[in-house]
Amino acid sequence: MLPVMRGKSGGIEGNSTGKEICPLTVVQSPNKHNKGIGLVFKSPLHALFIAEGYPLSIKFDSFAVIPLCGVMPTKWAIVEREGLQAVTLAARDTVDGWFNIERVSREYNDYYKLVFCPQEAEDNKCEDIGIQIDNDGIRRLVLSKNKPLVVEFQKFRSSTA
């Protein structure tokens, strides 16, 4: 998954933020040449393909993750952190819900955004996944209102294949 606007930054990866010792925060790489870590999308619908609007879980490809802190979680989740709802690899205190892929517009067929749909949300209100730049310049993936990270998808080729 790569951002459509690639001038200043690259693909999606994990990084340590705040007081984290291990890279548990999902971020956008500051290196525009870095394509990030491959992602695996899975739907509870057991579909043969992933379509817009399908409920999804997202995780980093486990073969592409270098375990810096022993066994690392790879599944994305949403947690409340420092006043934001951020995308993280944490296993505790997460918001119940699922991710979806949505087309940004019919005009641009290959441009998409990710949204998160909290299970307890009224009217199944989903929020865009966007970028928030913290004081250290780290580009965190967070829930954002109407400021989505617009992406395109490329087939991931694992180095182990």
DSSP 2-21: EES--SS---EEEE--TT-S
104 backbone dihedrals φ, ψ, rounded to 5°:
-70, -45
Q: Where are the domains of the chain?
A: 2-152
**Is domain 2-152 given the CATH code 2.80.10.50 in the classification?**
yes
Rounded distance between C-alpha atoms, residue 154 and residue 40, angstroms = 12
Task: Answer for the pair 139, 14: CB distance below 8 angstroms, yes or no.
Answer: no
What is the model's pTM?
Answer: 0.87
Would you write out the chain's pLDDT as a tens digit for each of its 161 residues? 888 876 778 999 999 888 888 888 999 999 988 999 999 999 888 777 788 888 999 999 876 666 667 777 889 999 987 788 999 997 788 999 999 999 997 776 789 999 999 987 666 689 999 999 988 899 999 999 889 999 988 876 655 44
Torsion (CA) 58, 149, 124, 95 in degrees, nearest 10 = 50
Task: Answer for the pair 143, 116: CB distance below 8 angstroms, yes or no.
Answer: yes
Supply the DSSP string of 103-127, one letter for each residue.
ES-SSSTT-EEEEEEETT-GGG--E
What the block records as the tokens of 106 is 């019919």
